[in-house]
Structure 1
């Protein structure tokens, strides 16, 4: 720390065994390192979502502890701006209410997530607003045995929006670009990508659960470079939270938005129309698709990238159709 009011910047760890204990699990011992300016910092294990220090168990005590350290500046962020303590203390609890009480999310295939090390989670995108991405992050954190954080790759619009961009950075998100993705994957992080982008999240209700184009497969190239598995993820339930029946394109262009949705309730009911419908969600993590069996130049093979992209897309579509065939109703699952 350079002074009494600034956060420590903790560089991402690089080696697989950097935070390993004698039993192969995360070490409880702090790892000392140096910043570029030579100032020493103490980086506690960040692998598997471990916090930088022990926090009180009760919510009130945790909040008091959080506020105390905010005032003194005794907290740390990584080089992307990810603030673990702020995320766990202030951001996850309200999202958890949506997750558990409103959408009643059920998860499947959590055992397909690696206990440690990097992996790229590839998810379908829907719902007009990208609520499905943050619900997936809650699912990974709360249902993974090591409570790992999902580092989400977001669109430029997210980081250009005042306040939202800062909040996204603090919660572990970064730009959806190959450089950032590879740095995170190389550091052993779980990274989430939604390759349909705005085409998926803003598609009409009539096209629900039909995957849009996955682009040029840049996410596959990043996984190949890092040698980490691709994990297909299907999200059922998000399509129905805001049934989009029209798009006011002139208004969207005026506001600089990719679309301006019209639903049965919005904008007719004003702010009330922005309340998502309480659909029942299912988030399923599919079997990993390994990339470490390919050579180091595999990312330069366009046919391989295309085939892996198509394989991931097909796996997600099959998972969606299977889960839909088992669903009793939109609101009961």
Structure 2
């Protein structure tokens, strides 16, 4: 096999710039692993890259910041051929070719092995979603069992994963959505209380938790962060993790006006090393036993990649979008 099918972006633009073509098979060198991709998840950061909005990256490029599959070659011999693995971040799909392909070469340090008999569309949804949700809680919020957690932007894939992890960690989870029709989705994911976001979530939160929640995760963006901060008690923490609104910065930011007394504001953006293999394996076991749910929205084929990006832009995926490379 000298060529493989991959999605290539030659220049920034709309979904139509995502083109499937035959390209040379990459070769793993020292310190690298070649992965045969079975599935990959779709992420908004790939949308930003495709549009030319990303701060890093170059064209032409095979995009994709994550991939799930099996080891095809490991020059070091550390990972046997056929080992199930996930990989993410580290420059994938921006500074070097990413997971939108039948095969991908990545640094060995960003390969996370696992064992599971779950279907590939479920496994393909996990890497970046779980890494972000786990890291947000473990690093950004650091909640304790029995505390309350607000997830602003709960119907995003990370928001749904946070609801599942929060419940597993003994938290009372409040999740938001702008669409009343998504309430059941959030409840199925693990949210104890669902709030329809009318722009004044802090008022709704304090009717349920008068003193304010112990922690919150901001997934919507800077346009609502002020309201999210007001939903948290003194001594509590808000972690800025996502930007679904594509609003990244706060003009004329005045901390004493924006941040309530005693409320902590943190941020999280992680790498593959921030998802320990035991954490991944434990989560997959919880899914297998029915204690957690992977929020797969829509499943696509590689040839459907332009439609998949259009659906992601339109916000109609309804969870994590996944592409099955090997149906």
Under a length normalisation based on structure 2, what TM-score does the superposition of the two structures give?
0.31
Higher helix share: 1
Higher strand share: 2
Under a length normalisation based on structure 1, what TM-score does the superposition of the two structures give?
0.31
